[in-house]
Amino acid sequence: MKTSNPVLARLGQAAERERSAGYAQPGQYGYGQPGIPQQYPGQPGSPVAPAATGTMTLDDVVVKTVALLGILGVSAAAAWVLVPDALLGVAWIGAAMVGLALGLVISFSRMANPALVIAYAVVEGAFVGLVSKVFETRYDGVVLQAVVATFGVFFVMTMLYKARVIRATPKFVKGMIAVMAGLFAVMMINFVLALFGVNTGLRDGSPLAIGFSLVAIVVAALSFVLSFKEVEDGVRMGLPARYSWTAAFGIVVSLVWLYLELLRLISYFQGDD
């Protein structure tokens, strides 16, 4: 089964190699080797039979996504309560760096790694909790509004994808990957410059900042289409069940990104307390 998603294609190739490795290679069990009787898994001196694993299903992805959101929520609440106000700045920057590193490792890994995905949810939860606390302290009620808006957008995108109003065509996938890469680069440059006190105007509540946030929100919402397509293709390709963690990771990343952009946009329209 072919897929237009390059990340999923890479995972599919890795999974195919796993499946191939699980079967005997020529001569592995004594076939074609003179003087060596044919052996089968379980016999003395024979290779151990590979453990049977299920394939990825939609239910697997739903369960893993809910689990990751639960972990993220608990971590966010813990960070909100436990981290003192004096350390908020250092803590959220540190969590952002670690979360980014874990996210990149997971995204470019050729193997599904549930432990890394769970670790990402913990670290990203701390980051989200700390950032949310900063915004809520300054703009009362903004966190609840952003949470409701995030899941509202997610529901709408789910319905649009299910109704095939929006389709993940190869051209759409390539375009989205290019746009997301560009946005990521701009955000990283802006983040680094902000650390040195340089204001680019992208995050200060100006018309430029509002426009940038609106673009980011639209792209974040459309990124769900890539995640949904990834799940569909993963199920059709028969990827091993543990790859459902990777699919769930993609959905959670999009949700967090959308939430943070909505949080920022809503704050632009609220006055300081």
The one-character DSSP state at 271 is -
Domain residue limits, the chain = 51-268
pLDDT value of residue 205 = 86
Mean pLDDT over all residues of the chain? 84
pLDDT value of residue 9 = 52
pLDDT value of residue 10 = 53
In angstroms, what is the C-alpha Rg of the chain?
23
Residue 8 scores a pLDDT above 60: no
CA–CA separation, 127 and 96 (whole Å) = 6
Residue 28 scores a pLDDT above 50: no
Q: Report the pLDDT averaged over residues 168-178.
A: 94
Q: Report the pLDDT averaged over residues 43-52.
A: 43
The one-character DSSP state at 85 is G
pLDDT in tens, 79-118: 999 999 999 989 999 999 999 999 999 988 888 899 999 9
The one-character DSSP state at 270 is S
pLDDT value of residue 259 = 98
pLDDT value of residue 29 = 38
Residue 50 scores a pLDDT above 80: no
Please name the residue ranges forming H helices in the chain.
6-21, 58-82, 88-108, 114-138, 142-162, 170-195, 207-237, 243-268
- Rounded alpha-carbon distances, angstroms, from residue 48 to 18, 57, 257: 15, 27, 44
Task: Using a pLDDT cut of 90, give the percent of the chain over it.
Answer: 68
